[in-house]
Every structure is written in structure tokens, then in C-alpha cells.
Amino acid sequence: MTPKLANAFSTYVETTTNFLESILSGSVDEPLWEEPLRAWLGECARSPQTALRPDMAEAALRNIIALHLSRYAFSMASHGVTFTDLGGAISAMQALDGFLTLAARHDPALGAHLAKLERAHTDDTLRQIVSLIAKPRY
């Protein structure tokens, strides 16, 4: 890993950690993705190459997607599902985009794999959300 890329990872870790702190401060509940994401960010700070092992990168990607989707409220409307930004959705999208960009700069094949996985996982999660909120309530 080049020094420039290592520096970019350092900046990414700092920015994403600060963002996490800001959205989670005062939160009563701890999201399931919080601790694994924090651990992965710590690993990024110590050893970006280790944090980019495919197994770790895939797990981190799923947690960053969960972070991103957690920044929305979803509801059904006559025209379909509506998304309402709860605050932080753009920063979460930037965290996701930054991770995919850094992974692709480190290893283009890994970056391509993660981009495909991101689309599939996001689509699957959104389908699950829609099916949950579309169910009739008795």
C-alpha cells in the first residue's frame, strides 16, 4: 500500500469515526452493526491491508450499508415506499462511497467485487424492508 493510500485510509477512518460519534451520541439503543463497524475502523487505523482482506471488507461493507439504511425512515405511500432522511444519510452514503473507492484503489478486483456485493445486499435489504412495512396490520 502506498503512503498516499495509507494516508487516505487514515483520513477515512477519522472522518467515519467522527460521523459515527455524532449520529450515535445520545442514542439509547446500540445498533447491531455499531461494535463490528467500530472494530473494523480500529483495524483500518492499525493495518489498512488487514482490514481489506476480503472477509473483513465484506463484513464491513454490510455494516456500512446497515449504517446508511439506518439513517432513513421508511413508509408506504400510494406510489410506493418513501424514504425520509433522519439526519446523516448523506454522510453515511459518503462513508459507503469512500470505502468502495479506497478498496478499488487498493485492489481493483476487490473494489469491483464489493461494488457488486453492495448493490445486491442493498437491494435485498430494501426488499426485506418493503415486505415488512407492506404487510397488513391487524
DSSP 26-64: T-SS--TTHHHHHHHHHHHHH-HHHHTSHHHHHHHHHHH
Which DSSP state fits 87?
Answer: S
Question: CA angle at residue 38 from 120 to 23, to 5 degrees?
Answer: 85
C-alpha cell belonging to residue 73: 425512515
Cα 121 from Cα 13, distance rounded (Å): 23
C-alpha cell belonging to residue 1: 500500500
Q: What is the pTM of this model?
A: 0.87
pLDDT at 28 over 80: no
Once rounded to an integer, what is the mean pLDDT over residues 39-67? 92
Once rounded to an integer, what is the mean pLDDT over residues 7-32? 83
Q: Which of 54, 49, 61 is nearest to 2 (CA)?
A: 49
| Alpha carbon distance, N-terminus to C-terminus of the chain | 56
* pLDDT for res 107: 93
Mean pLDDT over all residues of the chain?
89
